[in-house]
Structure 1
Amino acid sequence: MTDAATRLATLAEEALGAPLPLRIRAWDRSETGPPGTPVLILRNRRALRRMLWKPGELGLARAWVAGDLEIEGDLYEALDQLAGLLWERDDEPAAGRPARLVTAWKAARDPRVRHAVRDLVALAGPGLPPAPPREEAGSTRGPLHTLRRDKQAISHHYDVGNDFYELVLGPSMVYSCAYWDRPDAALEDAQHAKLDLVCRKLALEPGQRLLDVGCGWGSMVLHAARAYGVRAVGITLSEEQASYARKRIADAGLTEKVEIRVQDYREIDDGPYDAISSIGMAEHVGSVRYAEYTGILHRLLAPGGRLLNHQIARRPEPDEEAYHVDEFIDRYVFPDGELAPVGRTVSQLEEAGFEVRDVEAIREHYALTLRRWVANLERSWPEAVRLTSPGRARVWRLYMAACALSFERNRIGVNQILAVRTPEGGASGLPLRTRDWRG
């Protein structure tokens, strides 16, 4: 085979029924495809074997993480084009995208497709399925979202080194959607604005008790104690996060006001709290535990207290029973994480006894945030690789860039839901004009 790229493109187009939207450069340095587009580089035949043994986004991701596959050019443009080939469902039926690769693979009853697949297998060369990159989470057993399994899942994602997260997140160490007043604002300013918005929505006052569920590296409790005078408790399942947060608190002279615990939300027994923040944590709870989660937060909150639940949401599925978690995210990024439609989250908060008073959708803000994190990572790439591994750095670059596109294309969203444990008599304590966020 003297021109593997042309052969690859021809066979792929036979299976897809449409031209490939990207250029291809193969292991023999041959190249073909539309000029001026990003280049998909297959460094070896193993990259093709990975995609053939596991068609769809997981095979592609494994090839990327292992370094068998590269993208030259605009990563966002390449991922946007590849999305139309790899997704199981077509979110944009009017866009004229070619048939999806997974669909074509499953429809191999077509003789043309069978012929193309057979020749692709021959081109990939002999060999067993390549082992997944070591950055892939190990297999887990037993029921979802037990205390032990949740701690293991959190450790896989967060215990990869605080220095690495400093590099990606910047000095704020906030690992959730920032709040932007303009796209060219500084990331630190946007994260400060988000933390302050949460505090104002919760109407924090000096002397109140705040619980921050999933406190990360302590940024929310630090801001709330420093700027609003509250006494705060932050909980996390990550030992590395807790150690980092405690040092920040000590350095700020706030050890008398802020406590960090390595604790599961199901183990908290020292309520009531005047306010609860849950920022980017509920995605880890899972559908099987969500009613328990909302019930516990309702019980921990004092009558009249407020909850701010900041959570990523997916779009509703026509058949919710057939919903599957994203394979790449589940294997490499957030094991056992789940997204729910915002309507379901609102309903479950209400079923727990909360009065939902405000829902603010801020998905464009997360796209801006993710692009800044990707830029931070790319700018310090050699250091990121040194701090973790080449594969781990590649996981983060792929997942953050892909998520930025998903927020921009309205495939997922993120919402701040303000809920109140309204006391008997119905006095919520909120001002008549809620969006002023005073009172």
Structure 2
Amino acid sequence: MNMLQSQLEAKLSGLPVAVAIALPSGEWIANPHEAQLRLHCRSAKSLAALASGDIGIVGSYIVEGDVEIDGSMRDAMAAAVALMPSDPVAARSTWWSRLLARSRSAALHTLTKDSEQIQFHYDVSDEFYALWLDPRRVYSCAYYAQPDFTVAQAQEAKLDLICRKLRLQAGERFLDVGAGWGGLLLWAAEHYGIQGTGITLSRNQHAYVNQLIAQKGLQDRVQMLLMDYRQLKTTEPFDKVASVGMFEHVGRAHMHEYFATLKSLIKPGGLLMNHGITAGGTDNEQLGAGMGEFIEKYIFPGGELLHVSVVQQEMANAGWEMVDADNLRPHYAKTLWAWSDALEAQLESALQVLSQKSSPEQAAKTLRAYRLYLAGCATGFERGWTALHQMLAVVPDGSMTTGSIRGAQSHYPFTRDYMYC
């Protein structure tokens, strides 16, 4: 213990925020009254994880109650970054690790397991998510078209940006894959007049969106289906497709199948908006310092992040032509901090809501996990460990002119002026 104490004392001296650590004996490393952040450690193993900078393992100890945080999540994240021994995206994979990762990816993403994994995350509690998301419950990166936007305004700006990028027109058949709580699907129906279909594997989301559809009287134009993308069949192809926050759940081993399936569902010349989280590193299977394992265990089982270059290659191999790409990484950092701050302001209410669905002990664990997840992801996007890309693609239909210009291969415009206003 004396060696651990010495290591931790040295670590604390170099942190950007004042941190004090309570030892299992009750003694303190540093003065708790002068600290911005206080960590109560109940075991030597949690102290060892702190000393080695294994942040993901420390996070697990926090979730399990072995370490208690007293202070703001922003200060906790600043300290966590400084404690890490190396860049978490610097890890290099080998041919063997890539082979193992692909085998694992294939095994994790069966119809049954994907359904279980989605429900593990999204069916925690609708009321819990409603506490910290915007009123439309849009659970993906917002678009801060104006710096002073609230998260609700930024989410509406994002929904409209996607619709403009897709050039949605009244009467078009629109598919939203992984439609969540229906934000984009209903926005497109109410503001652009589309005929919409959404799919999800979350039972809670399926029930919620169908209730909204009925309340809004949109049953003749919008439907929400409970199914996997591999199960979707259509006798009439769609004009436009959106995949928002979806391909992260597909798995690398199934990425070609995913984009090939979307291509089979759309008309030639149709547009796809593929919006999702991408890896910051080009050659790491997951974030280092144990953070990837933490996310896998407590938040997104089966989730896999790929570098944008890999995603674009998979899209191209499936027959999609990239026509526009946009990195909204800073927007997601701001979105996640807004969610984190909203949750931090309602911790007691969040605990009560979660306790309605599980035992008090499990509710407390879930809340601790989500506090770390939101603040940790906000930090990751700030620092470029992860990114958020909107990738607009088209299925070439052989059209050789757009206006008076030859060679387009589709009717996609030659400029992007129409996207922004």
Smaller-chain TM-score range? 0.7 to 0.9
* Match of residue 201 from structure 1: 165
Decide which of 192, 207, 221 is 1:228's aligned counterpart: 192
**AA of the residue aligned to 1:73:** G
* Match of residue 437 from structure 1: 419
1:47·1:69 contact (CA, 8 Å) conserved in 2?
no
* Match of residue 182 from structure 2: 218
1:33 partnered with 2:7: no
* Match of residue 376 from structure 1: 342
Secondary structure at the aligned position of 2:116 is classed as helix
The Cα offsets for residues 334-384 of structure 1, whole Å up to 9 and x where unpaired, read as 001011111111111111111100001111111111111111111111111
1:47·1:63 contact (CA, 8 Å) conserved in 2?
no
Decide which of 7, 10, 15 is 2:6's aligned counterpart: 10
For 1:213-292, what aligned pairs fall within 5 Å after superposition?
Answer: 213-270=177-234, 271-292=236-257
**AA of the residue aligned to 2:386:** I
**AA of the residue aligned to 1:152:** E
1:57·1:87 contact (CA, 8 Å) conserved in 2?
no
* Match of residue 323 from structure 2: 357
- The two structures have a TM-score, normalised by structure 2, of 0.84
Do the aligned partners of residues 142 and 225 (structure 1) sit closer, same or farther apart at CA in structure 2, a change above 3 Å counting?
closer
Cα distance in 2 for partners of 1:169, 1:407 equals 18
Pick which of 321-330 and 235-244 moved more. 321-330
1:311·1:414 contact (CA, 8 Å) conserved in 2?
yes
Cα distance in 1 for partners of 2:205, 2:56 equals 29
The Cα offsets for residues 112-154 of structure 1, whole Å up to 9 and x where unpaired, read as xxxxxxxxxxxxxxxxxxxxxxxxxxxx998121111111110
Deviation at 1:46, TM superposition (A): 7.0
1:404 partnered with 2:378: yes
**AA of the residue aligned to 1:250:** A
Cα distance in 1 for partners of 2:140, 2:155 equals 8
**AA of the residue aligned to 2:23:** A
Cα distance in 1 for partners of 2:105, 2:247 equals 22
Deviation at 1:394, TM superposition (A): 1.2
Deviation at 1:316, TM superposition (A): 2.9
Deviation at 1:416, TM superposition (A): 0.5
2:197·2:224 contact (CA, 8 Å) conserved in 1?
yes
Cα distance in 1 for partners of 2:298, 2:75 equals 22
Do the aligned partners of residues 9 and 278 (structure 1) sit closer, same or farther apart at CA in structure 2, a change above 3 Å counting?
same
Decide which of 384, 388, 412 is 1:414's aligned counterpart: 388
Cα distance in 2 for partners of 1:435, 1:284 equals 32
Cα distance in 2 for partners of 1:429, 1:36 equals 64
Secondary structure at the aligned position of 1:288 is classed as helix
2:4·2:48 contact (CA, 8 Å) conserved in 1?
no
Do the aligned partners of residues 87 and 161 (structure 1) sit closer, same or farther apart at CA in structure 2, a change above 3 Å counting?
farther
Cα distance in 2 for partners of 1:12, 1:169 equals 37
For 1:99-138, what aligned pairs fall within 5 Å after superposition?
Answer: none
Secondary structure at the aligned position of 2:253 is classed as coil
Deviation at 1:84, TM superposition (A): 3.8
Cα distance in 1 for partners of 2:7, 2:30 equals 13
Count the aligned residue pairs. 384
Do the aligned partners of residues 252 and 38 (structure 1) sit closer, same or farther apart at CA in structure 2, a change above 3 Å counting?
same
Pick which of 27-36 and 60-69 moved more. 27-36
Pick which of 36-45 and 426-435 moved more. 36-45
Cα distance in 1 for partners of 2:88, 2:278 equals 18
- The two structures have a TM-score, normalised by structure 1, of 0.81
1:57·1:328 contact (CA, 8 Å) conserved in 2?
no
For 1:140-219, what aligned pairs fall within 5 Å after superposition?
Answer: 143-219=107-183
Decide which of 55, 58, 82 is 2:56's aligned counterpart: 58
Secondary structure at the aligned position of 1:42 is classed as strand
Query: Taking every aligned residue pair, what percent have the same amino acid on both sides?
Result: 36
Cα distance in 2 for partners of 1:46, 1:320 equals 30
Cα distance in 1 for partners of 2:154, 2:34 equals 35
Contiguous gaps of at least 5 residues in structure 1: 93-139
Cα distance in 2 for partners of 1:242, 1:158 equals 11
Cα distance in 2 for partners of 1:365, 1:273 equals 30
The Cα offsets for residues 237-267 of structure 1, whole Å up to 9 and x where unpaired, read as 0101100111111111111111000110111
2:279·2:385 contact (CA, 8 Å) conserved in 1?
yes
Decide which of 293, 299, 303 is 1:333's aligned counterpart: 299
Cα distance in 1 for partners of 2:284, 2:25 equals 45
Deviation at 1:434, TM superposition (A): 1.8
Cα distance in 2 for partners of 1:185, 1:322 equals 32
